[in-house]
Chains A and B, each alone.
Chain A
Amino acid sequence: MNKLRIVFWAIAIFLMAGPIGASAAEEVNLYSARKEKLIKPLLDQFSAQTGIMVNLVTGKADALLKKLKSEGINSPADVLLTTDAGRLHRAKVAGVIQPFHSAVLKNAIPPQYRDTEGHWYGLSLRARPIMYVKGRVNPSELSSYEALADKKWKNRICIRSSSNIYNQSLIASMISANGIKKTEAWAKKFVKNFARPPKGGDRDQIKGAASGQCDIAIANTYYLAGMLKAKDKKQRAAANKVAVFWPNQSDRGSHVNISGAALTISAKNRANAIQLIEFLSTPKSQEWYAETNGEYPARKGVKMSDTLNSWGKFKADDLNLVNLGKLNPKAVMLMDRAGWK
């Protein structure tokens, strides 16, 4: 029985050791919806340069948000990193992030990609254009998201489930531009043009198009970028069969979302936290970040990869990104009604 007791105490100590071990002198604590692989190297650079240790925990944005809310003012997190504007907006509404002002950031990030009150700052753009199969679709046939409701696209479109945040944001941007009624009417026709019930991720849509299941895929550009540089020959072959078309260039522009960072209300390492966010906005970080993630840098004038350059310049939707968050529930309900699985 004594042995058992020793084991128990050992376990207890081990379980409680977490927070003690994490309290180094100079540090910053990061809740990140961005995956470890796609941010860690940059954080390591930051630590090497400044001597500030970055403690990281990754997870799904909504779960992290819930965690922040429950932990309240005692949350260990200093910085919240998300991959869409909607969640940043929700964090602001929930009161778990605080505004801060930084000349460096104001200078680096264009105003449409940061919160007007300084609650959050965008770090990269994620564009969701139309991708078409070269040879089967003439780009002159394409114009806008709206035009994809036309009967001529029947059984020719691949797009993933409406449970996905990218589609929810896209529809939110359309509601913002065209209103609910018009968007719902459009969605009902658009759904009828699907080549197959929505399933899989964005890469699967591109693969579907490449293999002949459909002629048009709607996907975020960084997935295509990822496929183009994949080690797998088949992925590269599939990616090479499709080309990017930037829709709505004559009106509001193609749909984009952002990934961004915010300072939590509980931040105990405030200065370090701001320093980290500023570091992420430097041209060098932006270049690495955009390159690694296959996304567009939020900062203007940053060198881009050949892949990104090959898709050409485009006009991004100039909609205030806060609306994406606000309209998200409406978008989901609209897709439910339209029968978009």
Chain B
Amino acid sequence: MEDFTKKSEESSSSNWWNWATASLAGLLSLPILVVLGYLFTPAGEIWSHLVETVLADYVSNSLLLMFGVAIGSLLLGVGTAWLASMCSFPGRGIFEWMLLLPLAIPAYIIAYTYTGMLDFSGPVQSTIRDITGWGYGEYWFPEIRSLWGAALMLSLVLYPYVYLLTRAAFLNQSLCVLDVSRTLGNGPWRTFFTVALPLARPSIVAGLSLALMETLADYGTVQYFGVSTFTTGIFRTWYGLDNAAAAAQLSAMLLLFVFTLILLERNSRKKSRYHNTSQRHQSISRIPLKGWQSVGAITYCGAAVLFGFLLPASQLGIWATTVSEESIDGAFIDLISNSLLLGGVSALLALLLALFLSYGQRLHNKPIVKFSVRLSGMGYAVPGTVIAVGVIIPFAWLDNSFDSWMRAQFDVSTGLILSGTLFVLIFAYLVRFLAVSLQTVEAGLGRIKPSMDEAARSLGYKPNEVLRFVHLPMLKGSLLTAFLLVFVDVLKELPATLILRPFNFNTLAVRAYELAADERLADAAPASLAIVATGILPVILLSYSITKSRKTK
């Protein structure tokens, strides 16, 4: 089609966007490419060993874990989203925001608290033994530190992604469609299953894919529960077997999982491209629940909040106040401000990048742009440590090359300019969490009809002005969501922070980890509690912004 190649004004701006989008996305996928680069390093005979002994375990455990988390987070996320947005029952308003709270708890911390409560030597089982006089092996109790335990823990803290996106979808659904279903003789519940749920499917799948990517990247929980997954396998191969190449090759296999996941998600979204089907939203009239229905709804939502937030948070509170040898002191102010700073800056940058990339994609949907944007969003499923290594290598190389060039030319040593600064750490955060903001912003942009862009263009606005004057104001809600999600994620992030932070710089997550890794779980409680407390505020803000977006009768 060379005949139709565009030149001149239109094409120079188009080239600029293509070039800028692709190269920015390329830069952000650099760490992943570095990891993939190890694919070509021979790993020796280690593979036959892995295949013979542990690989089957890694694959099956990872798949089962994803399966478990999928079931768990769908059960917890979709039903609660429907109840909290479309039904009315006592306490609904409170549940609406409380259901998001588990988002503030890092998965490894909830794992610690539940182990503390439910383990053989924990208070629950000890009490059972004290009452009944049974000993070890004389009664059955579910083993929390197992594959299904890990799936449960991850579901409890990851279901809010599904809840968040599904609820937004329900709130955005044109009520006409729901009303049509009602007039066709479907009751509210049938309407839920036959109309609302299928319409919300792209959002449900988007939320689920975020939860599953987090699941694949999780290290803390599965390692503590002794479940061998890809992530633990990567570290075991790297650290234990001292074989970085094989570890990277395992990471590449993990990326294959992720890629499949992303393709599935894309596919489900492509099939159902809904812009706002109707311009006219009436305010929601919620379905009133009566009697036992209310009780059921309260129990259902209450269970999610209780097990996902209240119980673990109280356990942390108890530890922090009774048995912890650490307390919240002046040093915490530094930790909190460091955490806030990193979270704020990274979330802002991730937002701008996501906006830029998804808008670039909207303008010019070229395969190369699409591919590089997809690649740059894959970091979310890669364990933080692997990302960190993928970040260190190219930056250190860049710094060292510049240094030796300066030495050769001017006899001046510049040392490491970028490595060891917060710049590199934040870059790693962007690589890791871009998917979250990208997902949210893309979904938001997808809801804006292309004719909006064209209308503004025809009225004399250039593409970047269209973004500023049309899309940004329309995207407010999505942008806030993207910002806050990344913010909370950065707050909880540990492995990359640990490796990439500069000298004398700590965050809440690092403090919590150092004590927990020393098996002083109770002592880690104050820092963990501080993470949770810091995370709650943005989570509540998030909830408020979504509710506000839709007035109700």
Task: List chain A residues, Cβ under 8 A from B232.
Answer: 163
User: 8 Å CB contacts to A: which residues of B281-340?
Assistant: 322-325
Task: Give min CB distance, B135 to chain A, whole Å.
Answer: 6
Bound-complex Cα distance A331 to B440 (A): 46
Task: Give min CB distance, B117 to chain A, whole Å.
Answer: 13
Task: List chain B residues, Cβ under 8 A from A318.
Answer: none
Check B396 against A71 for contact (C-beta < 8 Å): yes
Check A198 against B392 for contact (C-beta < 8 Å): no
Task: List chain A residues, Cβ under 8 A from B420.
Answer: 18-19, 71, 76
Check B325 against A14 for contact (C-beta < 8 Å): no
Check B224 against A200 for contact (C-beta < 8 Å): yes
Interface readout for B379-409 with A: 1 if CB under 8 Å, 0 if not?
0000001001100110011011001000000
Check B396 against A72 for contact (C-beta < 8 Å): yes
Stretch at the interface among A114-122, A207-215, A256-264: A207-215
Stretch at the interface among A144-152, A177-185, A225-233, A245-253: A225-233
Task: Give min CB distance, A155 to chain B, whole Å.
Answer: 8
Task: Give min CB distance, B80 to chain A, whole Å.
Answer: 31
Check B421 against A15 for contact (C-beta < 8 Å): yes
Stretch at the interface among B118-126, B155-163, B449-457: B118-126
B188 contacts chain A at the CB level, 8 A cutoff = no
Bound-complex Cα distance A271 to B499 (A): 26
Bound-complex Cα distance A201 to B232 (A): 15
A74 contacts chain B at the CB level, 8 A cutoff = yes
Interface readout for B3-29 with A: 1 if CB under 8 Å, 0 if not?
000000000000000000000000000
The verdict on A232 contacting B323 (CB below 8 Å), with A76-B420, A333-B241, A336-B54 known, is: yes
Question: Which residue of the partner chain, among A163, A232, A332, contacts B522 with CB atoms under 8 Å?
Answer: A232
B426 contacts chain A at the CB level, 8 A cutoff = yes
Check B325 against A67 for contact (C-beta < 8 Å): no
Check B53 against A337 for contact (C-beta < 8 Å): yes
Residues of A contacting B: mostly: helix
- Chain B, Cβ-Cβ closest to A209: B121
Check A18 against B422 for contact (C-beta < 8 Å): yes
Tier of interface size on chain B: 35 or more
A192 contacts chain B at the CB level, 8 A cutoff = no
The verdict on A36 contacting B121 (CB below 8 Å), with A165-B239, A333-B49 known, is: no
Task: List chain B residues, Cβ under 8 A from A18.
Answer: 420-423, 502-503, 505
Tier of interface size on chain A: 35 or more
- Chain A, Cβ-Cβ closest to B232: A163
Task: List chain B residues, Cβ under 8 A from A59.
Answer: 498-499
Task: List chain A residues, Cβ under 8 A from B393.
Answer: 70
A22 contacts chain B at the CB level, 8 A cutoff = yes
B43 contacts chain A at the CB level, 8 A cutoff = no
Stretch at the interface among A50-58, A100-108, A277-285, A304-312: A50-58
Check A62 against B126 for contact (C-beta < 8 Å): no
Check A35 against B426 for contact (C-beta < 8 Å): no
Check B241 against A332 for contact (C-beta < 8 Å): yes
Task: List chain A residues, Cβ under 8 A from B260.
Answer: none
The verdict on A19 contacting B421 (CB below 8 Å), with A207-B121, A329-B240 known, is: yes
Stretch at the interface among B69-77, B472-480, B512-520: B512-520
Question: Which residue of the partner chain, among B121, B324, B399, contacts A231 with CB atoms under 8 Å?
Answer: B324
Bound-complex Cα distance A71 to B519 (A): 31
- Chain A, Cβ-Cβ closest to B426: A15
Question: Which residue of the partner chain, among A72, A207, A232, contacts B400 with CB atoms under 8 Å?
Answer: A72
A48 contacts chain B at the CB level, 8 A cutoff = no
Check A35 against B518 for contact (C-beta < 8 Å): yes
Task: Give min CB distance, A78 to chain B, whole Å.
Answer: 11
Q: List 19 A-B contacts (CB under 8 A).
A: A11-B348, A14-B422, A16-B423, A36-B506, A37-B518, A58-B510, A59-B498, A62-B239, A66-B389, A66-B499, A67-B396, A67-B499, A70-B419, A200-B115, A200-B226, A208-B121, A211-B120, A329-B242, A336-B54
**Knowing that A71-B416, A329-B243 are A-B contacts, what are 7 other residue pairs whose CB atoms are under 8 Å apart, sorted by A's residue number?**
A18-B422, A35-B517, A55-B503, A163-B235, A223-B519, A226-B520, A341-B226
